[in-house]
Amino acid sequence: MLRLFTFLTTLLIATQVMAADWSVRKEDSKLGFFATQAGAEFEGAFKTFSSEIRFDVNDLAGSEVKITIDIASVDTQSADRDSNITTQDWFYVSEYPNATFQTKTITKVGEGRYLAIADLTMRGVTKEVELPFTLTIDAGVAHAQGEVTVSRTAFGIGQGQWAANTVVGDDVRIFFDLKADAQ
């Protein structure tokens, strides 16, 4: 009887650690970017995003992540910049309200280190990106962090006078620091 109890307890713990479905703790998570304006770096974050995460360290082929970002929820600590970001010259939120990140493959590249090949769609343009990330799972809570650099102009972000990189830099570092609970 003791062996059966030990086996079932071990199975329950292992199932929680290897759980496939995850729910992001939005209050403990951050999704944002670093960009440059007039040569100075600034940070922005998106307050509203949704996620569909199916991740199992033992089934990476069956794992997938989809993040949908509400662009209008941007916060760069500048009301002027935030309102400009949503205009037709930048993200054109009235036409393209969301950005999406959808994984194609996830591979393990080291202990606690992974690489996601994904489609990133912003302003109606989809580009494949390689996103390295770290992941720890402890007691049914996952903590993932990663960053990828993209060219804003490759996505058509910054039209007209803003297409040049003289005032706003072309490289944008997109980052995430997410905590999620096993479901």
Q: What is the pLDDT of residues 12-68, one digit of tens each?
A: 444 444 558 999 999 999 999 999 999 999 999 999 999 999 999 999 999 999 999
CB atoms within 10 A of CB 49: 22
pLDDT of residue 17: 45
pTM: 0.87
Reported as half-sphere exposure (CB side, CA atoms, 13 A), residue 39 has a value of 0
Helix (H, G, I), strand (E, B) or coil at 18: coil
For the chain, which residues make up each domain, given as ranges? Answer: 2-182
Helix (H, G, I), strand (E, B) or coil at 27: helix
pLDDT of residue 173: 98
Find residue 40's DSSP bridge partners.
Answer: 37
Q: What is the pLDDT of residues 110-148, one digit of tens each?
A: 999 999 999 999 999 999 999 999 999 999 999 999 999
Find residue 164's DSSP bridge partners.
Answer: none
Mean pLDDT of 91-103: 98
Residues 55, 20 contacting (CB under 8 angstroms):
yes
Q: How many residues does the structure list for the chain?
A: 183
Cα separation of 42 and 154, whole Å? 20
| Cα-trace Rg, the chain | 19
CATH superfamily of 2-182: Lipid/polyisoprenoid-binding, YceI-like (2.40.128.110)
